[in-house]
A and B are shown apart, each in its own frame.
Chain A
Amino acid sequence: MSEDKKNKNHPDNDQDMMKLVDNLNRKEDVNLNRRAFLKASFGTTVALGLATTPFGVMSAIGNDKEDTERIEIATADELAVGEAKNFNYPTEDEPAVLVRTPDDQYVAYNNKCTHLQCPVFYEHKDNVLLCPCHKGYFDVNSGHPIAGPPQRELPKILLEVKDGKVFAVGREYRHG
């Protein structure tokens, strides 16, 4: 090993020692950090502010599509009280569940869990909608989460019962 390499971590002249003292100038150090911290905070503020715009643009584009298609999903006597039926609404890719509750009311929700998109099932015994993946429970009458990890309600499908048939006529993401 050469002599230079051996001594590379040892100050070999006064100039290096002076640099070391400069580096320990605490006041200067704090000032520089304060400035850098503010600049980083400002950059973050701008980045977060601008990050909202794509959502605004996508909302403006997607806002035109309304879920108002009217589809027949069941006949009124097809389901007994306490039974459920799966269907898709408003598109074939969006599964939903129709429930005839013990109060003899029809309710329907998109049945992708609002936690991690697992399918939600109707539990007749407890009269709840259950997501078995992480034990998320939803109120069958409102679609709102009552236990487990989900925080948001299930999208509600608006129904119309007419001439012995149940129709899906719209959808509300936020309700109740």
Chain B
Amino acid sequence: MDKKRITFLSIFLFLAINVISLSKVIEGYYGQEYSHVYTFMIVALISTGLATIAFFLWRKEEYKR
């Protein structure tokens, strides 16, 4: 699988991770399970960072002449 396809698909993987993380964070916040909130918030932020890297790699490949 080429780099462009991997980065393309990974963004959807990170999207799924963030959807789940956000739901866990909200659940943890209202359930006052603060350790869950911090854990899933960190997961979501790391996933967002990786998605950003993947997006720029994809863009570099996509718009390459």
Q: How would you classify the secondary structure of chain B's contact residues: helix, strand, loop or mixed?
A: helix
**Contact for A55 among B11, B15, B26, B55, CB less than 8 A:** B26
Q: For the side of the interface on A, what is the size category?
A: 20 to 34
A174 to B38, CA, bound (A): 17
Does A21 lie at the interface of the complex (its beta carbon under 8 Å from any beta carbon of B)? no
Of residues 29 through 55 on chain B, the ones whose CB sits less than 8 Å from some CB of chain A are: 29, 31-34, 37-38, 40-41, 44-45, 47-48, 51-52, 55
Q: Which of A41, A42, A58, A63 has the most C-beta atoms of chain B within 10 angstroms of its own C-beta?
A: A42
Does A50 lie at the interface of the complex (its beta carbon under 8 Å from any beta carbon of B)? yes
Of residues 161 through 176 on chain A, the ones whose CB sits less than 8 Å from some CB of chain B are: 173-174
Mark each residue of chain A from 137 to 170: 1 if its CB lies under 8 Å from any CB of chain B, else 0. 0000000000000001000000000000000000
**Contact for B21 among A42, A46, A52, A174, CB less than 8 A:** A52
Contacts of A52 in B (CB 8 A): 18, 21-22, 25, 40-41, 44-45
User: Is B25 a contact partner of A45 (Cβ separation < 8 A)?
Assistant: no
A19 to B65, CA, bound (A): 25
Contacts of A42 in B (CB 8 A): 11, 51-52, 55
- Given A38-B8, A56-B41, A59-B38, decide whether A49 and B33 contact each other with a Cβ distance below 8 A: no
For the complex of A and B, list the 4 residue pairs with the smallest distance between their C-beta atoms, beginning with the closest.
Answer: A49-B48, A48-B18, A56-B41, A173-B32
Q: Which of A's residues lie within 8 Å of B, judged by CB?
A: 35, 38, 41-42, 44-46, 48-53, 55-56, 58-60, 63, 152, 173-174
Q: Which of B's residues lie within 8 Å of A, judged by CB?
A: 8, 11-12, 14-15, 18-19, 21-22, 25-26, 28-29, 31-34, 37-38, 40-41, 44-45, 47-48, 51-52, 55, 58, 62
